[in-house]
């Protein structure tokens, strides 16, 4: 499975259903009510009317799918998914969605011993206590792989 398919599978099925229903309903409304009753659109060539009726409803459908992605991705990352979903819905002009992508946390990783979810920056698994990251021998704080010195106490870290 490629990366795009993995990310698309994060979107809940409910969001897919709502997006498809919204798209179909808007296409129907445009074809049956708006285009026949509008003087300007009625004069367009039939191909232009069909492209208009098929293209315009894509915007709300994609917006619904983005809100679904925010919900599923926040849930996957162990974040407050209800709060982020409401922010994505209620903040206008998709600014809530943009804020989510700017402020989201790194993905959770699995503990090698118990398989529990471990946040980035944790040195020990919160479920079983297994060491999952490197720590400074001086101050016992988490350090990144490849660092030569601890950022908290300045201690020299041994090469791994």
Sign, CA dihedral 43-47-51-53, equals positive
Q: Does residue 102 have a pLDDT over 60?
A: yes
| Interval 48-58 mean pLDDT | 94
pLDDT at 1 over 70: no
For residue 156, give every residue at least 6 positions away whose Cβ sits within 8 Å of its Cβ, in sequence order, or none.
Answer: 148, 149
Token reading at 120: 């980035």
Angle CA(142)–CA(150)–CA(129) in degrees, nearest 5?
A: 20
Percent of the chain whose predicted confidence (pLDDT) is above 90: 57
Tell me the mean pLDDT in the region 62-82: 95
Residue with tokens 């293209």: 55
**Cα dihedral 124, 9, 103, 92 in deg (nearest 10):** -150
Average pLDDT over residues 67-95: 95
Handedness of CA 144, 147, 148, 153 (dihedral sign): negative
């Amino acid at each position: 499975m490629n990366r795009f398919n993995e990310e698309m599978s994060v979107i809940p099925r409910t969001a897919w259903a709502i997006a498809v229903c919204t798209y179909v309903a808007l296409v129907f409304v445009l074809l049956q009510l708006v285009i026949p009753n509008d003087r300007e659109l009625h004069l367009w060539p039939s191909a232009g009317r069909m492209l208009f009726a098929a293209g315009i409803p894509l915007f709300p459908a994609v917006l619904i799918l983005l809100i679904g992605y925010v919900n599923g991705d926040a849930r996957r990352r162990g974040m407050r998914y209800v709060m982020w979903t409401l922010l994505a819905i209620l903040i206008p002009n998709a600014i809530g969605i943009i804020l989510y992508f700017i402020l989201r946390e790194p993905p959770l990783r699995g503990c090698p011993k118990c398989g529990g979810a471990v946040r980035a920056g944790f040195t020990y698994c919160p479920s079983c206590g297994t060491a999952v990251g490197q720590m400074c021998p001086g101050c016992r704080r988490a350090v990144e792989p490849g660092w030569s010195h601890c950022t908290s106490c300045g201690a020299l870290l041994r090469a791994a």
